[in-house]
Structure 1
């Protein structure tokens, strides 16, 4: 059972200010800012071409968010069960809207796509609705070899845009309780892509950032984000001790997760900065640790 409990929103009653357990995504210009960050990171980067390609996907997501937003009647009725993520990716019936988003992405990406990418887009366009659902099931279950990294990128981009809009509209509030499984998103039960140390009202607090619905949930900084042990944590970086991106490794479960310090660099984005710092992954994995998260722009297979 998740240790973050979701309940319908109630009017605030005042009192002592406390840590907000859950931050639902605020989309607005979210994907535009991500595209801009990808572009910023291309300067002199060894992966400049791929970062620019990723920027194009984020820009297409922003266009779809503006021109074809989630209809009000899509998944409008959600059952809130005790201890269950309301948008659990393994339980929520997917609306065909997500496939329409995929078609929109294909349409917007094809004009500037390379021949290799166009071939993947053509394959997806020729895939039946039933086959797309089967591939989505495999992707959500982590059976990436059944999908392939090339197709997975576009499928996930559409699915994530769908889930993020659902999450942004949830009329829920959260409270922190004792419990386990804090390593999974309390909104959709997915794994985090990375963690962020916040600025602003949550300054200094660590939140895990969901790789699917892009919600963020609080987790103390003295525990492993994967196994919740605290005794064997180490931090790695390619820069000095005040680096904006570090990797938190755990000697108990032998995993690691990136930590982005949002106050140390302008305009950081979880997916973009994580992808642009793969050199750090290589060093930490050389030390024998396995990544506990997945970047949607970096599927295996």
Structure 2
């Protein structure tokens, strides 16, 4: 099944209806994510990085509270959606959406928030902060174009002078871009409608890869949603199906503990990829981005089996150069 974005008026109601798409809610995820990162850091081999990531996420929380999406841009979303009716999905496709100057406001405020934080005093981060502070809007936009294209798996934009930033600069840019796209997606006056076909490998809102999948508990127990690595929208994909190639016959599940572990890697023998799954019924405290970052030991085991990760963690971007 594929997912088509439709205006809210076309939404299919019903108590038993499984939403094909869950857009980001008004409740910001950053403070709980930072708290989870700090809890996971206790005694962890990656404690320093987890604490650094918690500082970055705290800064995202502060910026999101101080600089919400402007009302003019919220109004433009409805008009854009109407103009796109009948067009391919992904109304906020990161290669087609005309970024406003608001994302640069978010970036500037993020840099201000990060500069004095104790976890940001290391030489590589200080250099990245200095590089971004010295860059003009044109350079930041060129870096953003290149970074978004690379993480979509597309060729770099031609004839724009776009080049990938170094890893530290790219990580900070992504924090601002993710803030911006989450704000956009959270205000999108739409829902998702399931249609025949597959094509659920990328986010139906912005066309980026998922971070991982979340298997819900409670009233929605057993439903699996993939969470976008850019806008943090979640879309439904049935279980026991590869999230990269849709195969159903060659799936294996791996974990570092026993078979009831709350974090597993779903590996596909057909396309030789894997994506981690987080089971809320096994651990209701799981926070997908934080726990994914803290479980990189599982990724190392999967890579040792020559499997390729199909997900992207927004706090630990893959090497792109």
Q: TM-score range by the shorter chain?
A: over 0.9
Which whole-Å deviations, capped at 9, do the CAs of 1:24-73 have from their partners, x for residues lacking one?
A: 11142411111111111001001111101101111111111111111111
1:135 aligned partner: 143
Alignment partner of 1:109 out of 105, 114, 117: 114
Which whole-Å deviations, capped at 9, do the CAs of 1:225-265 have from their partners, x for residues lacking one?
A: 01111111000000111111100000110000010112222
- Which residues of structure 2 form unaligned runs of 5+? 157-162
- Cα gap change, 1:111/1:249 in structure 2, threshold over 3 Å: closer, same or farther? same
Give TM-score, length-normalised by structure 2. 0.89
Report the 3-state secondary structure (helix = DSSP H, G, I; strand = E; otherwise coil) of the residue aligned with 1:267: coil
Using the TM superposition, give the Cα deviation of residue 200 of structure 1 relative to its aligned residue in structure 2, in angstroms: 3.2
Give TM-score, length-normalised by structure 1. 0.95
2:6 aligned partner: 7
Q: Which moved more, 1:244-253 or 1:70-79?
A: 70-79
Q: Distance in 2 between matches of 1:266 and 1:15?
A: 27
- Which residues of structure 1 form unaligned runs of 5+? none
Number of aligned positions between the proteins: 300
Whether the aligned pair in 1 keeps the contact of 2:23 and 2:186 (CA below 8 Å) is: yes
Using the TM superposition, give the Cα deviation of residue 174 of structure 1 relative to its aligned residue in structure 2, in angstroms: 1.6
**Cα-Cα RMSD:** 1.8
1:21 aligned partner: 20
- Cα gap change, 1:16/1:102 in structure 2, threshold over 3 Å: closer, same or farther? closer
Q: Distance in 1 between matches of 2:218 and 2:195?
A: 24
Whether the aligned pair in 1 keeps the contact of 2:11 and 2:192 (CA below 8 Å) is: no
2:132 aligned partner: 124
Whether the aligned pair in 1 keeps the contact of 2:253 and 2:264 (CA below 8 Å) is: yes
Whether the aligned pair in 2 keeps the contact of 1:75 and 1:95 (CA below 8 Å) is: no
After superposing on structure 2, the runs of 4+ consecutive aligned residues of structure 1 that deviate more than 3 Å are 11-16
Whether the aligned pair in 2 keeps the contact of 1:20 and 1:218 (CA below 8 Å) is: yes
1:84 aligned partner: 89
1:1-301 alignment runs, 5 A limit: 3-10=2-9, 15=14, 17-74=16-73, 76-77=75-76, 78-79=80-81, 80-82=84-86, 83-112=88-117, 113-116=120-123, 117-142=125-150, 146-301=164-319
- Cα gap change, 1:90/1:12 in structure 2, threshold over 3 Å: closer, same or farther? closer
Using the TM superposition, give the Cα deviation of residue 75 of structure 1 relative to its aligned residue in structure 2, in angstroms: 5.6
